[in-house]
Structure 1
């Protein structure tokens, strides 16, 4: 018998599973695409075939990962229509545009040139093929840009207005959507994290080769590139993560307070909690160890501006709910009489809080008749799950500093030509899964911290789902789990076989087809 879970929770479970699985492939695609371009650039400049062989080998692994990313990414977009129909109806004019541009501008560019990358080695000039490789990297990054513009708008909805005639959100200024500060910060931070993932992957696989004394020339050069590239990327992640913290302090204050488990507003500048044990029911953090000033500097860039605590932000949410109730009532009057100028003026004055009034739909079908107790309950709903966010963020940050230490060590050993140090090689190989863990935790912080909203301050999650039977969603969840499990087995099988065998050339000089590499690894 199926557990009694509502459609919204099931839809969230399904989208969360598919999104997190898809994001296993995205960071490596971003990182390897640029590393391939760098390696082939060295080949074109030096003419040394070892760099061409490196590009082909890592390119084969990139191709496997890219194919899996495409297979898992396409299914995600269909869910907006199947599981999140009201969301698509309410904000589709804004959210759909970046996704459409991503398909036309980025995905087609990347998909087209990746074919030329694999089959154009003996058909294009060296410079021509290098341009193809850089265009593949450009396509990967443009794809991330447009997807993160769409996601950034969910985090900080700008450039859009509510149309009282259509009862939907519509684009008012597309430039504001594109240059949304949250979207831009998310883009550079996410892309840098992808570069770290690619660098750790190359570093770890190369370390395994050196530990086993195989493909030494390729492994040494690959580690040298990964060390320099990874060091720059890991430093960028920390710096750009700090910028994301400042942006969140300006635009997503509840998320920031939840990540910090800051229940009460502290005197400026606020301290940063290194470790602690958040107690959401008791509104406190037990056994907290804090560093003075740090959170105030991150969130406000000042020593005089306070960082609001969760309890104070709940009070702000309650006030916004009351303001939203005024907008909701004025909207009802406008629906009855579009020429009611007083109602329109009232609505325009309070429309920014309309989404907060929708939180009351969980407690009463008549929003304008909500009681004070219902308003307070809805205001408390704006607090996400604190403890998971608190620990996810800290593990992610800890891994970020570990990557800096790893790449600093790799860079120093590379400069001294001592990359074969056994202890370092073992540490580098063991680090292989860690960037994926950091990336998944980062996405949880971004998406979990936005709850209870699908569009922050605009549309609550519980109102966004399709009106379909829970059994249908159970069926699709089971189908996705089965399908993605098969893909996971296929992905691991292909990647392990290619890595186990290493570079393989045919007598014609072309890279061997995938089936030949897999067969050779048996």
Structure 2
């Protein structure tokens, strides 16, 4: 029988490392393009202040980039240490995008990031701008390939199960690459990263404006962040809508759970603004709905239906029963590959094999499951509805808040009104908000996929390695201690750099120029 304690602890460890790593990724993605914008202005205008602006945000980008790389490496090793059977079962597909990410995107990014930091006085203006562009492209290409891998877990296309090798194998890499779920996740995720960086830059700029320091740099950074953030926040909401549309065909259970929709409603379904869903009562109490909105978002029509949780459980029950036939065929083919009857049964029911594997949580041989066990397995396909319901609303609510926030900032920047202290304070206070939205959004994506490691193909509980709870607890405590130290280092370096402010190499707009620092050296950050 499956040791669920090992499975849940392995999930906890991976969740902790993933969520921690994802604190750095969005800021890296967004800051890289903000650097491209500010340096492009410098190249076009030839004004020294824009070079100093770029170098200042570049320092913060560098600190964040290093921590992002350090925390991301451990996650790839965890696929082997904690998820060995997952790696064996689907490694042919899942490993390919990760390998391409390392060879294409990470090496590109890592190579040019050195030129970006040390090439200011050795490259031409346009040459250095090109290196900054390549760093931004590399960063976002890394996100693309990682999200292609994750998108395949959400919607496994371009792969088939081979009963001779007992593994999933690539059948069409083009389908893996252009997976609609992966593409929707990529544009939505990187846009959220751009929002994160814009809030960060805007918040730091407002901190300087409140303190009366580096005024000219802060005003310019404020303006860039306001425009970039407004465009990004609008795209997050629009692309989030596209992600919802992708769920309609590919992850209906996740969509139904996010909406707390237990029964299929008459089309077009209404959008629930508030409610209290219950996993035990199978209902959502105190619902406040906006008519028609969910149906329009999810189906792009007035006639398309959004399936409810209970009908989807009934569909899962049917697929489990069909999957048992496929499982039986596989077992017979393992004994006799020439069994034509088993081969024919396999070809008819192979798409449902993963559903039969859900039974292995309750019985050793799925063919021995009775009706009650099958019903239990069918209901196990329902994720934690209350958690998904409320987390999704936190993410969506913050998304609309950012639109209003950046629209206000953009209006102030256009009118050159940088003296609204209430907004400056709000911008500083709001700095953690995008990280909350991003982490909650990532939790929605991963909670909503449960109980699947690969949707409809491999249940999560089958993917874990043969470890003991003691071993996993030891690594959890080890990672927690290490990451806590790294977090302290990250925060101290970022705060010290912000307190110190930008290096001013030439006088502009009334600000004095201090003694010029030696070329191609890092100025020591004073201890705080």
1:13-57 Cα offsets, whole Å, 9 max, x none, are 000000000000000000000000110000000000100000000
1:250–1:299 Cα contact (<8 Å) kept = no
1:369 Cα shift? 1.4
DSSP 3-state at the match of 1:274: strand
What does residue 311 of structure 2 align with? 312
1:272-294 Cα offsets, whole Å, 9 max, x none, are 00011111100111111100001
What does residue 171 of structure 1 align with? 170
Matching of residue 513 in structure 1 with residue 517 in structure 2: no
What does residue 273 of structure 2 align with? 274
TM-score (norm. length: structure 2): 0.97
Distance in 2 of aligned mates of 1:182 and 1:100: 20
Deviates more, 1:28-37 or 1:279-288: 279-288
What does residue 336 of structure 1 align with? 335
1:504 Cα shift? 2.4
Distance in 2 of aligned mates of 1:495 and 1:356: 48
DSSP 3-state at the match of 1:233: helix
1:93–1:169 Cα contact (<8 Å) kept = yes
DSSP 3-state at the match of 1:165: coil
1:510 Cα shift? 3.7
DSSP 3-state at the match of 1:277: strand
Matching of residue 151 in structure 1 with residue 186 in structure 2: no
Q: Counterparts of 1:157-306 in structure 2 under 5 Å?
A: 157-306=156-305
Distance in 2 of aligned mates of 1:422 and 1:78: 47
What does residue 61 of structure 1 align with? 60
Q: Counterparts of 1:400-419 in structure 2 under 5 Å?
A: 400-419=399-418
TM-score (norm. length: structure 1): 0.98
Distance in 2 of aligned mates of 1:24 and 1:199: 15
1:464 Cα shift? 0.4
Distance in 1 of aligned mates of 2:102 and 2:471: 29
Q: Counterparts of 1:475-486 in structure 2 under 5 Å?
A: 475-486=474-485
1:390-436 Cα offsets, whole Å, 9 max, x none, are 01100100000010001100111111010221111111111100000
2:121–2:520 Cα contact (<8 Å) kept = no
What does residue 361 of structure 1 align with? 360
What does residue 24 of structure 2 align with? 25
1:193–1:439 Cα contact (<8 Å) kept = yes
1:64–1:491 Cα contact (<8 Å) kept = yes
Deviates more, 1:168-177 or 1:298-307: 298-307
1:229 Cα shift? 0.6
DSSP 3-state at the match of 1:449: helix
DSSP 3-state at the match of 1:466: coil
1:424-470 Cα offsets, whole Å, 9 max, x none, are 11111111000000000010000000000000000000000001111
1:275-328 Cα offsets, whole Å, 9 max, x none, are 111111001111111000011011111111111110110000000000000100
Distance in 2 of aligned mates of 1:511 and 1:225: 26
1:410–1:419 Cα contact (<8 Å) kept = no
Count of residue pairs the alignment pairs up:
516
What does residue 74 of structure 1 align with? 73
What does residue 44 of structure 1 align with? 43
What does residue 426 of structure 2 align with? 427
Matching of residue 497 in structure 1 with residue 496 in structure 2: yes
Q: Which runs of 5+ in 2 are unaligned?
A: 505-514
1:11 Cα shift? 0.3
1:218-276 Cα offsets, whole Å, 9 max, x none, are 00000100111100000000000000000001100000000000001100000000011
Deviates more, 1:141-150 or 1:338-347: 338-347
Distance in 2 of aligned mates of 1:20 and 1:511: 35
What does residue 374 of structure 2 align with? 375
Distance in 1 of aligned mates of 2:9 and 2:103: 31
Distance in 2 of aligned mates of 1:434 and 1:41: 29
- Runs of 4 or more, structure 1, over 3 Å off, are 508-512
Distance in 1 of aligned mates of 2:503 and 2:276: 52
DSSP 3-state at the match of 1:169: strand
DSSP 3-state at the match of 2:449: coil
What does residue 130 of structure 1 align with? 129
